[in-house]
Structures are given as C-alpha cells and as structure tokens.
Structure 1
Amino acid sequence: MLEIDSLSKHFGGLVAVDDVSTRIEAGKINAIIGPNGAGKTTFFNLISGTHLPSSGRILFKGQDVTKLGADQMARLGVARTFQSTALFDRASVLDNLIVGHRLRTRSGLWDVLTHSARLKQEERICREKAREALDFVGLSAMAERMAGDISQEDRKRAAVALALATVPSLMLLDEPAGGVNPEETEGLAELIRKLVKHGVTVCLVEHKMNMIMKLADRIMVLNYGKKIAEGTPAEIRANPAVIDAYLGSEHAEV
C-alpha cells in the first residue's frame, strides 16, 4: 500500500530520519518501534504529509505522493492520530467527529450563506458518518458528552473514530495505548484488529512491547533515525541489534 524509498529528513544539522526504506503492507498491522528520539514520529509526519522529506520518495497505492501536504494525503485516504489526543473539549464527542468527514464534502461559502440543499445534505451525511464511527469504536453512549469530560481511554477511542470518519484506507496511530492501563490496552488492541478486519490497513508507533509483539504482523525498528531491523515479531525479538538498542534481554527469544 505504501512504499518508502530512501526517505530522509534533516532539521538543520540534525538528521531525524536517515535513508529509510520500507513498505507498509495492505491488510496488515505494521508497527514502528525504537527508543525515544529514534525518529518514529518524524517518520509519521513525513508519510502523512505534515513535513516534506529532505530526500527520498513515497508512493501510496503506486502514486508518487512525496510532495503532497497533510490535507491532500487525508483526501487520498491516509488518516493520522497523535500522541496527545487533541479534541475540542467544550464540544460534544459527536460534534468533534463531524469535523472529520468535512474533508469529503464540497460545500463552500455560498452554500453556507444560502443554506443550500447541498449543504443540508452534506451535514446530514457528516452526522451519519460520525455516528457510525462512534458505534465502531464503542462510544455511541458518549455521543452527547463533552469531550473534556471523558476518560483517557475514551479519548483514545474518540481519536480513532475521528480518523475513521475521514474514510481512510490507511490509518497511522501514534502511541494509541499511551497513558492507559493494561486492561484498556487490550481493548484498544482489539479495536485495532477490528479496523484491519474491516479493511483499514494500520501502521502504529507504540512503546508497549507486549502489545506490539502480540498485535503486529510486521515491525520496523528505528534507532537514531536509521532502520536497524525489520521483520516479524519473532525475528525482531531474536535480533541482537534490536535487543542491544531497545528491547533488552527480557524481550529476547529463549
């Protein structure tokens, strides 16, 4: 689905991502791991269009998208969540999600001024898509709650629902289980499996290794911006370079 060829990003003298090549496979759970400062979030920023790469190439479904911005990538079907879940806390959970489907609408200023039939139709569709996304992530009962009043786990689910409302084919999840307890982590892992079962390819950055090793089909490991390993969870657990740089002996295969 996504092919990355020799991707690099420099911030002045700092090389945040250094000549990384990989593939994100359709219909799979792809994971990116590595120590803090390894370049994982910068890598996400590059493939989602938030930053332009210094060099290299990105192909999405065979199309060169290297120089496209985040809004263009979203319209092509690439959705993104962030480490810190940003919601409009004084708006309802449902109203937060309605925003997500707006990128699929065509209404402009004239439609707003005239309250056109197209505007009313698109508003109805946005509301329907938002409710469908809430139902998918298990938050239907929270639709009218203020976003600032829901739990950390529910905020994580709402972030996934917001991404889902954009109708993506690829979802990039940045630490989807950050800040939640083990039981909630398992619930979020099940949600990720459900996304893939329903046709959304997933790539996630996560520090919870027990979750990743049970969940991911393929794992790429970054360290100081470089790819040091890639493979199945079993291959990654057994890789000496990964054990030394990140996992530690407690995660090694015995």
Structure 2
Amino acid sequence: MLELTSVTKRFGGLSAVNGISVGFERGTINAIIGPNGAGKTTFFNLISGVMPLSEGRIVIDGRDVTGLRADQMARIGVGRTFQSTTLFDNASVLDNLIVGHRIRTRSNLLDVVFGTRRLRDEEAACRRKARDALDFVGLAHIEARLAGDISQEERKRVAFALALATDPTLLLLDEPAGGVNPEETVGLADLIRKMKRSGLTICLIEHKMDMIMNLADKILVLNYGEKIAEGTPAEVRANPVVIEAYLGSDHAHA
C-alpha cells in the first residue's frame, strides 16, 4: 500500500529524517514511535506532502507520488490529523466537516454566483458525507453544537471524522490519544480498529505504549531521524536496541 525508499529530509546540515525505507501493508494499523525529536512528525509531513523530500521515493498503490503537494496527496487518498485539533470554534461540528469534503467537489465561483444545479447537488453530497463521517465516529448527536463547546475527546473524534470526510484510503493519525484520559483512550483505540475494519490503512504516531502494543500490526521505531527497528509489537518489545533507546527495561518483561 505504502512503500518508502531512502526517505530523507535535511534542514541545513541536520537530517531530521535520514534514509528511511519501510513498507506498510494495505488494511493494517502501523505505529511510528520514538523519543521526542526522533523525526516522527517530519516523517508524516513527508508522506502527506506537507514538506518536500530531500532524497528518496514514496510509492502509494504502485504509483510514484514523490514530490506531490499536500492537496494532491489528499486527492489520491491520504488523510491526516494533527497533534492539535484546529477547528472553526464558532461554527457547528457539521459545518466543520462539510469543509473537509470540499476537496472532492468541482463547483467554482460561477456555480456560486448563479446557484447552479451542480453547486446544489455538491452541497447536498457534502452534507451527507459529513453526516456519515460523524455517525462513523459516534458523534451524530452533536452535529449542531458549536465546535468550541465540545470536549477534548470529542475534538479528537471530530478530527478523525474530518479526515474520513476526504475519502482517504491511507490515514495518518498524529497522536490521536494525546490529552485524553485512559477510558477515552480505549474508546479511541476501538474507533481506530473500526477504521481498519472498514478497509483503511492506518499509520499513527503515539506515545501511549500500552495502546500501541495492543493496537498495532506493525511498529516502526525512529531515533534521531533513523529507523532503529521495525516489526510486530512482540518483536519490538523484545528488541534490545529499542529497549535501550526508548521503552525502558520494564517494558521488556511486560
């Protein structure tokens, strides 16, 4: 589904991501872990087209997508959430989601000026898609609430719904359980499994190790911008290099 070859990002003389090669299978949950400053968010920025590569190649579904911009990556099915969920707080939850599906529409300024059939049809489709996404993440009951009035956990779910509204096949989740309590974390993990069952391929950055070990099919471990390990949760947990760099010896026996 996603294949990265020698992916590198340099800022001046510093390599934030250095020569990473890895593949992620379709319909799997893949975690990217590592200490702060390991290059995880930069890695996501490269996959999603937010930043250009310094070197390397990105292939999605057999298509070389190296060099595509973020909007082009979104159109070919790469969805993304960010560490902090930025919403239009003075708009309703539903209106926030309608914006997300706009990437799939074709109406332009002339359609708006003349109130064309295409514009009306696309607005109705956007509303349907937004409601479907809200229903999927379990928030259909708050569609009319102002985004500024919802909880942190609900904001996380809205972020998922926003990404789903762009019709992705590959979903990048940046710290999806950041800032929520343990019970809410379990609920978000269940939602990520539901996304997998619906056919999505998921990559996530997360610091909550218990969540990752129970959720991921595959884990990629970064340190100082380099890949130091990859494998199943059991393989990563038992890897002495990972234990040394990140997990701590207590996790080796968990």
TM bucket (normalised to shorter chain) is: over 0.9
Q: CA deviation at 1:250?
A: 1.4
Cα offsets for 1:170-229 (capped at 9, x unmatched): 100000000000000000000000000011111000000000000000000000000000
Partner of 1:188: 188
Q: What SS does the corresponding residue of 2:79 show, helix, strand or coil?
A: strand
4+ long deviations beyond 2 Å = none
Partner of 1:28: 28
Match of 2:59, as an amino acid? L
For residues 100 and 18 of structure 1, the distance between their equivalents in structure 2, rounded to whole angstroms, comes to: 32
For residues 75 and 83 of structure 2, the distance between their equivalents in structure 1, rounded to whole angstroms, comes to: 22
Pairwise CA RMSD of aligned residues?
A: 0.6
Kept in 2: contact 1:234–1:253 (CA 8 A): no
Q: What SS does the corresponding residue of 1:83 show, helix, strand or coil?
A: coil
Match of 1:106, as an amino acid? R
Q: What SS does the corresponding residue of 1:221 show, helix, strand or coil?
A: strand
Cα offsets for 1:55-108 (capped at 9, x unmatched): 000001111101000000000000000000011111000000001111111001
Match of 1:246, as an amino acid? Y
Partner of 1:245: 245
Alignment of structure 1 residues 116-135 onto 2, 5 Å: 116-135=116-135
For residues 142 and 17 of structure 2, the distance between their equivalents in structure 1, rounded to whole angstroms, comes to: 39
For residues 187 and 251 of structure 1, the distance between their equivalents in structure 2, rounded to whole angstroms, comes to: 23
For residues 222 and 62 of structure 2, the distance between their equivalents in structure 1, rounded to whole angstroms, comes to: 25
For residues 27 and 2 of structure 2, the distance between their equivalents in structure 1, rounded to whole angstroms, comes to: 12
Alignment of structure 1 residues 67-82 onto 2, 5 Å: 67-82=67-82
| Unmatched segments (≥5 aa) in structure 1 | none
Partner of 2:140: 140
Q: What SS does the corresponding residue of 2:196 show, helix, strand or coil?
A: helix
Partner of 1:156: 156
Partner of 2:177: 177
Kept in 2: contact 1:39–1:224 (CA 8 A): yes
For residues 94 and 253 of structure 1, the distance between their equivalents in structure 2, rounded to whole angstroms, comes to: 46
Q: What is the percent sequence identity of the aligned residues? A: 70
For residues 123 and 70 of structure 1, the distance between their equivalents in structure 2, rounded to whole angstroms, comes to: 23
For residues 194 and 30 of structure 1, the distance between their equivalents in structure 2, rounded to whole angstroms, comes to: 14
Partner of 1:229: 229
Match of 1:36, as an amino acid? N
Partner of 1:108: 108
TM-score using structure 2 length = 0.99
| Unmatched segments (≥5 aa) in structure 2 | none
Q: What SS does the corresponding residue of 1:30 show, helix, strand or coil?
A: strand
Match of 1:95, as an amino acid? D
For residues 236 and 187 of structure 1, the distance between their equivalents in structure 2, rounded to whole angstroms, comes to: 24
Q: CA deviation at 1:240?
A: 0.4
Q: What SS does the corresponding residue of 1:91 show, helix, strand or coil?
A: coil
TM-score using structure 1 length = 0.99
Q: What SS does the corresponding residue of 1:87 show, helix, strand or coil?
A: coil
For residues 176 and 183 of structure 2, the distance between their equivalents in structure 1, rounded to whole angstroms, comes to: 14
Q: CA deviation at 1:21?
A: 0.3
Cα offsets for 1:101-141 (capped at 9, x unmatched): 11111001110110100000000000000000000000011
Partner of 2:57: 57
For residues 22 and 253 of structure 1, the distance between their equivalents in structure 2, rounded to whole angstroms, comes to: 27
Partner of 2:99: 99
Partner of 1:11: 11
Match of 1:169, as an amino acid? T
For residues 10 and 209 of structure 1, the distance between their equivalents in structure 2, rounded to whole angstroms, comes to: 29
Q: CA deviation at 1:253?
A: 3.4
Q: What SS does the corresponding residue of 1:16 show, helix, strand or coil?
A: strand
For residues 41 and 232 of structure 1, the distance between their equivalents in structure 2, rounded to whole angstroms, comes to: 21
For residues 119 and 250 of structure 1, the distance between their equivalents in structure 2, rounded to whole angstroms, comes to: 58
